[in-house]
Amino acid sequence: MKVAKNVICYLIKVFSIGKSNYEEKHRLFSGEAKKNEELRKEYIHELISSYVPDEELLSVDWEHLYRNILEEKNRVILQPKVRKMIWRRWAVAASLLLLMGIGYYFLIPTRKEEKKLSVVGEPKTNDIAAPNKINATLTLSNGQKVILDSTGNRTLAMQGSVRIVKLANGQIVYQGSDKEALYNTINNPTGSKVVNLTLADGSKVWLNTASSLRFPTAFTGNERTVEINGEAYFEVAHNSAMPFIVYKGNTSIKVLGTHFNVNAYDDENSLNVTLLEGGVSVKNNSTQKSQVITPGEQAKIDKDGEIKIVKSIDINQVMAWKNGLFSFKDADIEEIMREVSRWYNINVVYENHISERFYADVSRSTNISILLKMLETTKAVQFEIEGNTIIVRR
């Protein structure tokens, strides 16, 4: 299967920061191997050339990194089922904060490197920490609620013949099959870490903060249907006899087996479907209009139901939330603060209109003050933290 160039670049990036799962590694190191190898090397050189020599960067041995990736290709292809990944976390090392053509360069803060952020000033004493656990709730078909957290390895509940298990890594797995479909709902509130769920058919779902998913404990009939609110990334198990359909209001997303992201927050201007692999049909059920997108493309459905296709979308930016990053490209301050408010569970008050656009990449594991100080360095915006409220002003 052909993989779009920007999708390959995304796979390289998540591999290089240690965030890729087995399927992503296999897609990166197999398939059109010769072509992918050239793109891998081209991407690494693009990273090198994009950095300003005078700026302070993390020490990265790029040649060693490239050799490591080539060695990993052989390991992943030759021993896909028996080898556990051992990966040294090479930092692909700098983020760009840019306003109106003027560049400001900062390190992406990680747990080991946050101390190097003195360039943007010391964190505010009144601060808000990033989420450190899952606060999601699973509502069973009988109305019973199960509180999920980040620890433990146990059976959560039985739904008919299907066992709901939470693994030690926090993943929720539905095991078994049943002739009757009982519907469950996972609600992942603001201020909660991402939830990882494996459905009864083997499909995997990553559910972002301030998001919910309604799904059956077993898939029966001719279709596999789920309902989404918020944002989720799907890796759908292939089944040509039973299409997988994601519903959000009047929009339906139909696939047979593929990898795609759905951003369907009610407070965003459009519902965005981004395809990483396979094929997706997006349909407005009111107008009956539909569009098919290919890997690397995004379907944007506006409030009126119109579907616009965006070519060569930035996969790294779309998937940043799943990989533990904020990534803003030409974003206004309200767009930024909507995402920030969901993650940190805060309120936002605007004292002035701010027209400037921003570019920034920063780890989601940092306190909110780090991100705010980075934005403040542009001199276009200022923030004040009052309890659980962020005041935004010029």
pLDDT tens per residue, range 248-268:
999 999 998 899 999 999 999
Distance (Å, whole) CA 116 – CA 108: 10
pLDDT at 117: 31
pLDDT per position as a tens digit, 34-52:
455 666 666 665 555 554 4
Lowest-pLDDT range, 101-115, 194-208, 228-242? 101-115
Q: Which residues, in sequence order, are bridge partners of residue 39?
A: none
The residues, ordered by sequence, that sit 6+ positions from 53 with a Cβ below 8 Å of its Cβ are none
- Per-residue confidence at 61, pLDDT binned at 50, 70, 90? very low
Distance (Å, whole) CA 33 – CA 212: 38
Whether 67 shows a pLDDT value over 60: the answer reads no
Considering its fold, how many domains does the chain have in total? Answer: 1
Q: Is residue 18 part of a domain?
A: yes
Contact, 58 vs 93, CB < 8 A? yes
pLDDT at 109: 34
Strand runs (DSSP E) across 160-288, as ranges? Answer: 162-166, 172-175, 183-188, 195-198, 204-207, 211-216, 224-235, 244-248, 251-255, 259-264, 270-277, 280-284
Whether 2 shows a pLDDT value over 70: the answer reads no
Question: What one-letter code names the amino acid at 216?
Answer: P
Q: Is residue 176 part of a domain?
A: no
Question: What one-letter code names the amino acid at 1?
Answer: M
pLDDT at 19: 65
Q: And the tokens for 322?
A: 């799943």
Whether 23 shows a pLDDT value over 80: the answer reads no
Percent of the chain with pLDDT over 70: 68
Helix or strand run (H / E) with residue 341: helix 333-344
Cα separations in angstroms, 326 against 109, 145, 189, 238, 371: 11, 31, 18, 31, 9
pLDDT at 92: 35
Whether 59 shows a pLDDT value over 50: the answer reads no
The residues, ordered by sequence, that sit 6+ positions from 154 with a Cβ below 8 Å of its Cβ are 165, 166
Q: Is residue 379 part of a domain?
A: no
Percent of the chain with pLDDT over 90: 46
Whether 81 shows a pLDDT value over 80: the answer reads no
Top pLDDT among 173 and 18 is at 173
Whether 171 shows a pLDDT value over 90: the answer reads no
pLDDT at 60: 44
pLDDT at 158: 86
Half-sphere exposure of residue 136: CA atoms within 13 angstroms, side-chain side:
29
Distance (Å, whole) CA 227 – CA 253: 10
Across 107-135, average pLDDT: 56
Across 258-280, average pLDDT: 94
pLDDT at 24: 67
Contact, 370 vs 121, CB < 8 A? no
pLDDT at 125: 56
Calculate the CA dihedral of residues 25, 31, 32, 33 and round it to 10 degrees: 60
- Per-residue confidence at 55, pLDDT binned at 50, 70, 90? very low
pLDDT at 304: 87
Half-sphere exposure of residue 353: CA atoms within 13 angstroms, side-chain side:
1
Across 10-16, average pLDDT: 68
Q: Is residue 365 part of a domain?
A: no
Lowest-pLDDT range, 50-59, 106-115, 302-311, 341-350? 106-115
Q: Is residue 10 part of a domain?
A: yes
Q: And the tokens for 219?
A: 């898939």
Lowest-pLDDT range, 2-6, 86-90, 125-129? 86-90
By the 10 Å C-beta count (0-12 exposed, 13-18 middle, 19+ buried), 312 is classed as exposed
Distance (Å, whole) CA 320 – CA 45: 21
Q: Is residue 34 part of a domain?
A: yes
Q: And the tokens for 69?
A: 């990736």
Residue entry with tokens 């946050």: 114
What b-and-e string marks burial along 108-130, b requiring 16 or more CB atoms within 10 Å of the CB? bbbeeebeebeebeebbeeebeb
Top pLDDT among 10 and 247 is at 247
Q: Is residue 86 part of a domain?
A: yes
Q: Is residue 147 part of a domain?
A: no
Residue entry with tokens 């009052």: 386
Across 54-81, average pLDDT: 46
Whether 71 shows a pLDDT value over 60: the answer reads no
Domain extent for 60: 5-92
Top pLDDT among 196 and 122 is at 196
Whether 309 shows a pLDDT value over 90: the answer reads yes
Whether 391 shows a pLDDT value over 80: the answer reads yes
